[in-house]
Amino acid sequence: MKSAVFYGKHDLRVEERPVPQPGRGEVLLRVMACGVCGTDVHIFEGDQGAADCPSGTVLGHEFSGVVEAVGEGVSAFAPGDRVCVDPNRLCGECRPCRDGLGHFCEHMTGIGTTVDGGFAQFCAVPQSQLYRIADGLSFAQAAMAEPVSCCLHGIDLCELRPGCRAAVIGGGMIGLLMVQLLRLSGASFIALLEPVEQKRALGLRLGADAAFDPLREEPDRILRAAGRLDTVIECAGLPSTVSQAVAIAGRRAVVMLFGLTRPDDAVPVRPFDLFRRELTIKASYINPYTMGRAVDLLNGGRLDVSSMLAEEIPLARLPEVLAAPALRAKGKYIVLPQA
């Protein structure tokens, strides 16, 4: 089978590998779609602090497909089932797992980051990681379940109340999912801060009430136009946008730091400034217990996960896309391993 294998910094090779055998409790999945994620880029770039990815691993953790065969002891799935995958497998036995904090599992397995994933024609996946997808959902849409589940965890931590006023910084795929989830959560006003005009236009179409170019407009002006903000969700992951998120937050607001900064980035904060507004600064890590709801939202047609897709590509083009920020700026790429 064709597979995209990580060998080290800037060394991703598309090569032939034997089709894996599903072990006990595993299915063999024919991978139909697999999203290209920022995490894949961090691994490709050899960034310190990115997932601990051993050389020789097949990347790809946002994927969907059809069950091709089942291993011993698989009861819940059968060949032909259409499914998507939660790539984060918890051990269930360590202290964080037993405390209901499974995303801090001390023995986490990451399908597509620590073990072979979905940038291949087939992947062996434990049945515990599978979710059924609706007939009307495309495989490319279903591959977005994992990023949606991460956004849901962030939204849960924001403790939104119906009628709240919110801002999202960054109109990439994640920011545009956040806009839609804020709308579903009952926000009465949503502002999108994004420098690229097409992304602002898309944000307005997907539920934002106002869109600002943060490079051209001052925070004060944005605030005057947006009014008091109860929630600010930062999805750009830059020190400057983190500072901006704190600057525009209203009294008693929650500032959610969702965008991944570099490990050594630092942002100056004046505690007195937080004190005067009773600000709460939060962060969100992966997708604990939110995958089922993400799949339900997608199966129910409640989210647009198609408008922000740039292109569907064959496996052979993956190294080129990982190496080219200008391509990725166009939107989300989906690999079709069977193409």
Residues forming contacts to Zn ion in the complex (CB under 5 A) are 37, 39, 91, 94, 97, 105
Of residues 95 and 161, the one with the C-beta less far from Zn ion: 95
CB of 64 to Zn ion, least distance (A): 13
Rounded (5°) CA angle 155-157-163 = 60
Q: Please state the closest distance from residue 232 (CB atom) to Zn ion, in A.
A: 23
Q: How far is the CB of 177 from Zn ion (least distance, A)?
A: 12
Distance CA 169, CA 258 (A): 10
DSSP 217-282: S-HHHHHHHH---SEEEE-S--HHHHHHHHHH--TT-EEEE-SPPPTT------HHHHHHHT-EEE
**CA pair distance 115, 25, nearest whole angstrom:** 16
C-alpha pair distances (Å), 107 with each of 86, 97, 110: 16, 10, 10
Q: Please say which residue, 97 or 298, places its beta carbon nearer to Zn ion.
A: 97
Q: Which of 93, 213 has the CB closer to Zn ion?
A: 93
Can you read off the two tokens belonging to residue 207? Answer: 């539920």
For Zn ion, the closer of residues 39 and 64 by Cβ is: 39
Residue closer to Zn ion, measured from CB, 44 or 189: 44
Burial 190-202 (b: 16+ CB within 10 A, else e): bbbbbeeeebbeb
Quote the CA–CA distance of 149 and 293 in Å, as a whole number: 7
CB-CB contact of 36 with 312 (8 Å): no
- Provide the minimum distance between the beta carbon of 322 and Zn ion in the complex, in angstroms, as a whole number: 13
CB of 92 to Zn ion, least distance (A): 6
Minimum CB distance to Zn ion, residue 90 (Å): 5
Closer of 63 and 212 to Zn ion (Cβ)? 63
CA distance 36 to 26: 24
